[in-house]
Amino acid sequence: MAKKDRGRRPAAASGTLRPVPEVRNYDNETPKFCLHHVVRDFDVTALSALRQAAFAKTLQRLAARRWVDLITAPRHGTGSEFIPAAQIKASIPPRFQDRERFLVFRYDGKLPMAGARVDDVYHVLWIEPEFNRLYDHE
């Protein structure tokens, strides 16, 4: 600092303050679907042609709604529920092994698909081809 600047207030640095980014509320977004981590024998190829069609129609129907609508709807139909990880009979992909529970949607009557939500993305991990194969239904 030069001698002539003593006692003067330093000039504000220009451009150093950035606005705080707005926190994104993913519940107001529509879901995006990822099938990258789907487990073998619980994937689309394990389904009959009719169940494959039901799965595709369900994804389209779910994608047209917001997360807030899906998570507040009754569990059967368009709604969802959580299943504890300990109840899953199939292998859990490494990326999701730290999860304590998984989000379940129905795709064909009461047949479920289960996975994990990350922000606005639903990672489909299992598509149950027949009852009680993924977890015991009550």
Per-residue pLDDT tens for 100-127?
999 999 999 999 999 999 999 999 999 9
137 within domain boundaries: no
Residue 138 has pLDDT above 80, yes or no: no
pLDDT at site 23: 86
16 within domain boundaries: no
Quick one: the chain helix, strand, coil %, rounded to 5? Answer: 25, 20, 50
The token pair at 73 is 């709807």
Q: Rounded to whole angstroms, how far apart are CA atoms 90 and 52? A: 20
86 within domain boundaries: yes
Q: Rounded to whole angstroms, how far apart are CA atoms 10 and 83? A: 59
Residue 57 in contact with residue 63, Cβ under 8 Å? Answer: no
Domain ranges, residue 39? 27-127
pLDDT at site 2: 58
Average pLDDT over every residue of 6-25: 74
96 within domain boundaries: yes
Q: What is the mean pLDDT of the chain?
A: 91
1 within domain boundaries: no
Q: Rounded to whole angstroms, how far apart are CA atoms 67 and 88? A: 24
13 within domain boundaries: no
Number of domains in the chain: 1
3-state secondary structure of 32: strand
136 within domain boundaries: no
132 within domain boundaries: no
